[in-house]
Amino acid sequence: MKSYKFLLIKYYFVNIGIIGNGLMGSAIAHRLLERGFKVYLYNRTKKKSNTLVKRGAIRIVHPSIMGKKCNFVIISVTDGHAVKEILFGDNGLVNCHNKQLTVIDTSTVLPEDSIYCAELVKKKGYEIIQAPIMGGPDATRKGDVISIVSGNRKVSEKCRKILINFSKKIFYLGNQDGVANYVKLGLNLNIALIAISLSEALVFVKKSNTDPSIFLEILNSTYFKTGLSEIKGPKMIKDNFTPKFYLKNMLKDIQLLNQCAKNNGASLTFSSLAEQFYRIAANRGYSELDYTAILKLLNEFNNLNRSNKMN
Ligand SMILES: NC(=O)c1ccc[n+]([C@@H]2O[C@H](COP(=O)([O-])OP(=O)(O)OC[C@H]3O[C@@H](n4cnc5c(N)ncnc54)[C@H](OP(=O)(O)O)[C@@H]3O)[C@@H](O)[C@H]2O)c1
């Protein structure tokens, strides 16, 4: 208890701004508040930060004002377009005139966008690194995610003291901006395909009039289990698609990956197919569900729904 109080006092004088208070930005804010940091928030849609404000976070009206108050600003927004707006738009972060400012961009974006943003931010006299995250909001609140970092080594070292508060491990991939974003897209492609593969197996089992929970129990007792089959699997078979990572954002990531692959000359057949499946699911209205709602789509293709789960 004594050391926890010490932590709260130690960090209270480090001002951290968080731009983007969606699922991930809010989880980061919760964790940092709990660790004793003074947390400033900016979100385009104000009401998303209401709970955090009640817990002691301070709402700021523009990114540029946040940049004046904070030496570290974490960005957690949808895509490169949003990051550019936050950094360079009207009242953007780079207009803050605080040369002590360091930007930590945790958003999953196109590497080319990261490189563009890093060059321009540095040209304007501020520091920036990329630190995309592996792990969802629940893991973030427990300090249990993986941060993948690229950018200037010294700046990355400085940011470690912030990232370590919500990350169990930090991988530093070197000075070259954008590298972390390539790796992050590859990691997300793996998840997108595992979700499809698990969903097809569940459809097969249900079509065979076999209990999917027994299937999952056996899978999760083998070497072939995944975090997805263990954590999300039991929810998927109960049609619980409460979002932890929106399907629309998974679609966004596969689109980014396929765009990157095209630029790099990589031929990724299953990734192209996966993009189509997630797009169909989005067009069916599943964008705001968890990405594991890809199972819901495959169930429908097979005339399996809640009432005839085992036919
Ligand atoms: N959820 C996960 O498990 C997870 C894990 C790792 C990485 N990520 C990545 O982390 C980032 C945030 O994810 P999330 O799950 O928190 O997504 P989310 O809940 O959809 O939140 C997206 C955030 O981006 C903001 N935003 C979007 N467009 C904007 C714009 N043009 N200008 C300003 N703000 C804009 C949204 O503001 P409004 O509220 O105003 O719309 C919202 O705060 C994404 O890049 C995602 O791919 C997510």
Residues 192 and 273 in one domain: yes
Residues 171 and 229 in one domain: no
> What pLDDT does 287 receive?
98
Domain end, chosen from 141, 160, 176, is at: 176
Residues 202 and 261 in one domain: yes
Residues 193 and 142 in one domain: no
Taking the centre of ligand 1 as the mean of its atom positions, its distance from the CA of residue 251, in whole angstroms, is: 13
Report how far residue 163's alpha carbon sits from residue 132's, in angstroms, rounded to the nearest whole number: 11
Residues 180, 131 contacting (CB under 8 angstroms): yes
Residues 109 and 39 in one domain: yes
Pocket of ligand 1 (CB under 6 A): 20-25, 43-45, 48, 76-78, 81-82, 85-86, 107-108, 133, 136-137, 244-246, 249, 253
For ligand 1, mutation pick of 21, 51, 77 (most atoms within 8 Å of CB): 77
> What pLDDT does 7 receive?
57
84 lies in which domain range?
2-176
Residues 6+ apart with CB under 8 A from 127: 101, 102, 103, 121, 152, 155, 158
CATH no. for residue 99? 3.40.50.720
The CB-side HSE value for 309 (13 A sphere, CA atoms) comes to: 12
> What pLDDT does 225 receive?
98
> Which residue, judged by its Cα, is nearest atom 27 of ligand 1?
78
Residues 6 and 126 in one domain: yes
Domain end, chosen from 157, 176, 195, is at: 176
Mean pLDDT of 266-272: 96
Q: Which of 8-17, 57-66, 123-132, 138-147 has the lowest mean pLDDT?
A: 8-17
Taking the centre of ligand 1 as the mean of its atom positions, its distance from the CA of residue 104, in whole angstroms, is: 15
Q: Which of 52-66, 183-197, 220-234, 295-309 has the lowest mean pLDDT?
A: 295-309
Please choose, from the candidates 132, 135, 137, the residue with its C-alpha nearest in 3D space to the C-alpha of residue 145.
Answer: 135
Predicted confidence (pLDDT) at residue 305 exceeds the cutoff of 80: no
Strand bridging mode 133-134 / 145-149: antiparallel
Closest ligand 1 atom, residue 77 Cα: 24
Domain end, chosen from 176, 196, 219, is at: 176
CATH no. for residue 243? 1.10.1040.10
Give tens-digit pLDDT for 175-218: 999 999 999 999 999 999 999 999 999 999 999 999 999 999 99
> What pLDDT does 309 receive?
44
> What pLDDT does 151 receive?
98
Inter-CA distances, 34 with 108, 112, 166, Å? 25, 34, 10
For ligand 1, mutation pick of 43, 249, 290, 291 (most atoms within 8 Å of CB): 249
Closest ligand 1 atom, residue 107 Cα: 45
AA identity, residue 225: K
Residues 165 and 233 in one domain: no
Task: Look up the pTM and report it.
Answer: 0.94
Predicted confidence (pLDDT) at residue 2 exceeds the cutoff of 90: no
Predicted confidence (pLDDT) at residue 5 exceeds the cutoff of 90: no
Give tens-digit pLDDT for 135-145: 999 999 999 99
Mean pLDDT of 10-38: 91
> What pLDDT does 263 receive?
93
Angle at 287 between CA 291 and CA 146, to 5 degrees: 40
Taking the centre of ligand 1 as the mean of its atom positions, its distance from the CA of residue 76, in whole angstroms, is: 6
Residues 147 and 18 in one domain: yes
Mean pLDDT of 221-247: 98
Report how far residue 9's alpha carbon sits from residue 36's, in angstroms, rounded to the nearest whole number: 7
> What pLDDT does 14 receive?
81
Taking the centre of ligand 1 as the mean of its atom positions, its distance from the CA of residue 81, in whole angstroms, is: 11
Residues 87 and 170 in one domain: yes
Taking the centre of ligand 1 as the mean of its atom positions, its distance from the CA of residue 275, in whole angstroms, is: 19
Q: Percentage of residues in the chain with pLDDT exceeding 90? A: 93
What domain count does the chain have? 2
Give tens-digit pLDDT for 83-117: 999 999 999 999 999 999 999 999 999 999 999 99
Give tens-digit pLDDT for 46-83: 999 999 999 999 999 999 999 999 999 999 999 999 99
Mean pLDDT of the chain: 94
Residues 168 and 199 in one domain: no
